[in-house]
Every structure is written in structure tokens, then in C-alpha cells.
A and B are shown apart, each in its own frame.
Chain A
Amino acid sequence: MASEQQPMTIIKPRQGLLPRETRQQLMRLLRYGLGGLVIVAIVWTLLNTGAISTWYGQWGVVLRQALVTGVLVGSVFGLVAMGLTLIFGVLHIINFAHGALLTVGMYITFTLFESFNVDPYLSVFVTIPALFILGIIIQRLIIHPARNAPGHNQLLLTLGLALFIENALLVGFTATPRFIRLSYARDEFSLGPITLDFPLRVFGTTVTLEKLAAFIFALLLTGVLYFILQRTDLGKAIRATAQDKEGAALVGIDIDRISMITFGIGTACVGAAAALVLPFLQVDPVAGNAFNITAFVIVVLGGMGNVLGALIGGLIIGLTQELWVVLPVVLPFPFPSSTKLLSVFIVFVLVLFFRPQGILGKK
């Protein structure tokens, strides 16, 4: 019979393990990785020739230590920058209060430790929601009313906010640097058959418990954030808003709500980072500024709005900073010593000039 209906076959689009753009980014990463391997191979051959191998024998440990520290610290930079890049991607504002909010998180961690003896790694359960709520309040109160104003206004609003927060902290906590130290930082831990004796010794380098923990937690949180963005409805709405605001609004996404939540998630990232860095840093009212500047650089390096790029950018900046500091020592020719921050700006300007779309971005 004519009315006999064929069951319609629904052709499901082939859903890979990862979305297409992520796959492309990973492929690009792989290509860079291969290039890196070639360079490593060349360096390796060079190392086996006389003069250089003597040099490496002398300074290898210093270099390896810089590499290890760079990667460990870089992951936290990545976490901070992820918050910033997320906010930029959706709200298109450069948030100058990001560093000041990090400082707020650090003082929360400090206070919890001092007054209630809360372990800093447990205080993330306070700092993340606290900064999330603070972010939402800030967005509602300050950013949202100016959403249709010229672009530089939002920048100035966040600047005014940063001034306010920094000086409020100055009034509340004075300029005295505060720090916390973990009682178990030099203990032995046995995980089944393996015993970890902190600080760990790996290939002649030292890995402290504080930095290793920061690294692991930062990667973990990055993974969680990435999962939220890629797999949940909320994440999809955030990505849709970042890609095309009007389109997202047309399919029924509440842009105002998404902007608010994104700002909250962005500041929650620094809440997490604050708790992770305090055990090996100290906090004063302007402690977040250095992070703020590095985070800007990382955001541009990774491509504005690109979360995966932020992590990779963070690692690159971490490595750059640490290597920059040891260069005057290890190089066989004179090299002016200067602060870590200068290397960050040099990388920044080079990236702005040659790859303003970021390392993972398409031309």
C-alpha cells in the first residue's frame, strides 16, 4: 500500500570522542608537538658533542629544575587565565579586577587557615562558591548596567573595582605580607607500594609537595571546567553565547543569565587558584597584580576565549618565566638579569605582533 510508511532512518552525525574544534586544536597541537620533538632531537645530538655536553653537565640540573617548576606553576597560571578568557569570550570585557579577586581568595584561604585551621586544599570548597557568588554580585551590580556602554567603560569599571578591592584589603589586612605553611610539606606518604618522600627528587630536580599539589589540582579543575563547557547544557549555552550572541538569544538562551553565570565561573577559577598558590606564595593586598598581567598575556597567547589555549598558554608562560631567570646563570655569554615579568611582556608583544589570534587560532 502506498500509505505504508518506511521507518525514517535517522542518520546520527558521527559523534567523536571530542568535538570537532577540539580535535582540530589537538591536531594542531600534535603538529607543534612533532616540531618540538624534532627540536629536542637536534638538541640531544648537539648535547652529545663535546663543549655543549660539558656545559649541559654543568648546568643541566638548573635547566631541568626551571622546566619542572615552570610546568608546575604554569598550570596554575593556566587556571587563572581560563577564568579571564571565559569572561572575555562571553562578555567581551577585559577584567582588570581578576587579580584583585585572586587576592580576595588568598585572604579567605589565609583567614580560614589562621582562625579555623582549615587545610588550604579543603578551603577550595569555600573559596570556589564564595568567589562564584562574589562574581555574580559584581556582574549584576557593576558590569550589567554598563553592558551597552562603549567598550572602554567596562575596562574602567573593572579598574575602579580593582582599586576598591585592593584598598579595602589594605584597610582590612594592612600591607604586611601573610603566608601559611603546611605542617606535612616534608612528610613521607605511602601510596600502596610507592613511598613518596617530600620534597621529591626527580632527575636531580626538587619537586615540593605544595607545587605538585597545585599542579594536580589545577589540572583536575581544568578538566572539570572543560567537561562543564563541552558536555553540559550550561556549557553549551555558554559556548553558543560566546560564538554568536544574537543567534544564541534566538534559540532561547537567556543571554543575561549566561553572562552572569560565566562571570561567576570565571571568578570561581581564581578562587580555586588562590587556595592552590597560597601554600607556596605570600599574600599582600596587591599580590594578585602579577597574576593579572600574566593572565592577560596567557589569554592572548591561547587565543581570546579559548579555554584549552589558556592551559597551554599558562604552561608556556610558566616555562618562559622560569627559564628567563636562569638564563643569565647558564648562558656562556653575558645576559642581563631582570625580573620574570619582563620575559612575559616580551612574549606578549611578540605574540601580539605575530599571532594575535593565539597559538591555537586559525589565521
Chain B
Amino acid sequence: MMERLRQIPRDFRYLIALGVVLAIVPLLLNQFLLSVAIQTVYWAFLGTSWNIMGGYAGQFSFGHAAFYGIGAYTSTVLLVDYGISPWLGMLVGAAFAALFGLIIGYLSFQFGLKGHFFALATFAFAEMLRLVSTELEIVNTSVGIHIPPVGGDSWSKMQFENTPEYYFYVIALFLIVGLFITIIITRSKIGYYFQAIREDEEAAAALGVDTLRYKIYAVMISAAMAAIGGSFFIQFFLFVDPSLAFGVAISIGVLLRPIVGGVGTIWGPLVGALLLSPLAEFTRSFVRTPPSFLSFIEGRAGVDVMIFGVILIVIIIFAPEGVAGIAPRLWRRYQTGRDVDEKSKETVAA
């Protein structure tokens, strides 16, 4: 058994372990912690989607809300207006988002946008979708759409009012699949092409990589995953409006996780989400019910985001390559430090 397990590549072994942990976790949590856990896993999934495009292929997206919102609105409109199950709506949304990714990817890369300019272009596309959706009748303009609650558990409508654990298992499954896709990508030709493009696009092109094609692939995979995340969250939240779907907060939230965790690493987005999402939730609840000596901040809107902003700045200044980047370095320093200690002891003994 152990022998068999050892033959599986390391990342897959970690993935299996993660699956086991995720399967057990909801059994140990109360209502509040479960909602924190759902948020965490959900942001880890979105971060994983961003990481493929922004981390591995090096195409920094500052407008992932565009893909997210397309997914959110597609499944919601299909469900509310046509009674189509969100499971199917989710896939349609992913296809639309991938198509949108194909179009903007093709346009942007064909016109040679890269770096700052590409990031700003993705930002502009997300904002344009937000502004257009505030006027669009089919998505009920800026009023937004409520998803009627079925009042109970329904797998076909993806609503689990009685057993929110199912929400957790759904998004946990998505995360596992997302990470599985990431690992597959890193171990295959397409992943090497992505990284070649990230490191030096001209050199990659000179070696025969069809850079345009592979950059667009990265955008499309990433877009489809982000759309599924959007569908999921709106099913969980049961309401969508233009700023929930296409808001800047989404674009920022999505890229924060991999950047804090470690850009272009398999586990970076998960590490970032484990750090940031509970932090955001706990500061929010802390401000709602602060200890008595801090009672003046009770219920003051904004204090929680202020704290979040400060912590974000501190993390980025002190862990510029993400936590996944700094952890091995600290480990090495700890080890070399120990070696030095050993050596100095030896010299003393001599």
C-alpha cells in the first residue's frame, strides 16, 4: 500500500491528502467556522484559476471579475428565467467566459499588449461589462437578480439551506479539480510552454512555441474556472447585481490569494486563501463584537477593511515573493543557522 502510494508523484500525494482533510473538515466546524471555511476554499479555487493565467503563463489579469461575472450571470439567468439547473448553467457560463477570454485574449495579444498594459486592458474589460450590465434588461439592470430559495436542500437547484456542508463539499471538489488541472498543466508540454512564455516570450517564440495560441489557452482555461467560481458563489449567496458580479473587489480578491501565497506555485493560491480569507472573516466579526476596551469600533463600517488593508501591506512588504516563497527561505536559514551552530560547537570542542 505505502509502496504504491510512494510511486505517485509528490504533488498528487499532497492532493490526495488535501482531499482527505477537506472531507473531514466540515464535521469539526460550527456554523460560523463552516461559512469561513467555504469562503476560504472558494477563494482558493478562484486564486487557482487566476494562477494559471497570471502565475504560470505570466499574463497578469487585473480584470478576472469579467469571467467571474459572466459565469455568475449566465447560470443565474438560465436558472431564474428558463429553469435550467445551475449545474448545467455553470458549464454554459464557463463556455461563455472561455469564449470571452478567447476574444479579448486574441485582441489584446494581437495588438501586442503585455505587462502593465495588458493588466489595465483586462481591468477595462471588466469595468465595461459592469457598466453595460447596469443598463442591460436581460440581467435586470442595476437592480440585480434574486434567486428564489427552494426552502430546503435540492441538488438539482444547488441549494442546501438545511445542510450547508454540501456547499463546502461542492466547492472543495471544484478546488481539488482545479488543483488537479494545475498539476497536470505543470507536468505537461502546455505548462512548459506557459512558463517559457512567462520567462521570455521572444525566446519562446524563437524556439517555435506558438505564443499567441498558448497565451490564449491560458486565458481560456483560467476564464472557464473563474466563471464556475462565480456561478457557485451566486448560488450560495442567492443574489447577484453588477458590482457583485463584475466589481473591482472581485478582481482584486482573486489575485490577492496567489500573490500573497506565491505566484506560479501549485499551492500558493491555497496558502494565500488560508491566510487571507479567515483573516477577513475574523476581522469582520471582531469589529462586529469587539472586546470591551475597543468598544468604540463596534459596528463602525470600514474598520475591518482598514485592518485588512494594513495587514495586506505588511504581508507584501515582508513576504514579497509570497508566503510560499518565503517559507523555504526561512527554513533554509534555520537549517544553515543550525549547521553554523554545530560547526562552532565542533571548533570549541577541538
Contacts and interface: CB of A to CB of B under 8 A. Distances in A.
Interface string B90-126: 0000000000000000011001110111011100110
Interface residues of A, number: 44
Contacts of A153: 259, 316, 320
Interface stretch (A32-40, A70-78, A275-283, A346-354): A346-354
Given A145-B317, A150-B320, A153-B320, A161 B127 contact: no
Given A156-B312, A161-B309, A336 B135 contact: yes
Contacts of B119: 94, 152, 155
Q: Which residue, of B301, B312, B317, B320, has the highest number of chain A Cβ atoms within 10 A? A: B317
Range class of the B interface residue count: 35 or more
B153 interface: no
Interface string A293-336: 10010001000100000000000000000000000000000001
B308 to A, nearest CB: 7
A111 B153 CA distance: 53
B107 A353 contact: yes
A153 B256 CA distance: 10
Interface in A159-217: 159-164, 166-168, 170-171, 175
Contacts of B120: 94, 296, 300, 348, 352
A339 B242 CA distance: 14
A155 B60 CA distance: 12
Contacts of A159: 252, 312
Contacts of A60: none
B113 A356 contact: yes
Nearest to A352: B121
Given A171-B303, A345-B128, A346-B128, A160 B111 contact: no
B135 A352 contact: no
A342 interface: yes
B320 A163 contact: no
B115 A150 contact: no
Interface string A337-363: 111011001101100111010000000
Contacts of A145: 317
Contacts of A338: 131-132, 134-135
Given A152-B60, A152-B259, A161 B313 contact: yes
B143 interface: no
A170 B320 CA distance: 29
A146 B313 CA distance: 10
Nearest to A154: B316
B128 A342 contact: yes
Contacts of A161: 309, 313
A interface majority secondary structure: helix
B291 interface: no
Contact of A168 (B60, B131, B255, B302): B302
Interface in A93-113: 94
A167 B124 CA distance: 24
Contacts of A336: 135
A146 B316 contact: yes
Contacts of B310: 160, 164
B321 interface: yes
A156 B256 contact: yes
Interface string B254-281: 0110010001000000000000000000
A167 B128 contact: no
A349 B125 contact: yes
A11 interface: no
Contacts of A168: 302, 306
B259 to A, nearest CB: 6
Nearest to B115: A151
Contact of A146 (B124, B127, B134, B317): B317
Contacts of A285: 302
Contacts of B259: 152-153, 156
The 10 closest A-B pairs by CB, nearest first: A164-B309, A167-B302, A170-B302, A149-B320, A163-B309, A160-B312, A167-B305, A353-B111, A160-B313, A167-B306
Interface of A: 94, 142, 145-146, 148-153, 155-157, 159-164, 166-168, 170-171, 175, 285, 293, 296, 300, 304, 336-339, 341-342, 345-346, 348-349, 352-354, 356
Given A338-B132, A345-B128, 10 more contacts: A94-B119, A142-B317, A146-B316, A151-B116, A156-B316, A163-B306, A163-B312, A171-B303, A345-B124, A348-B124
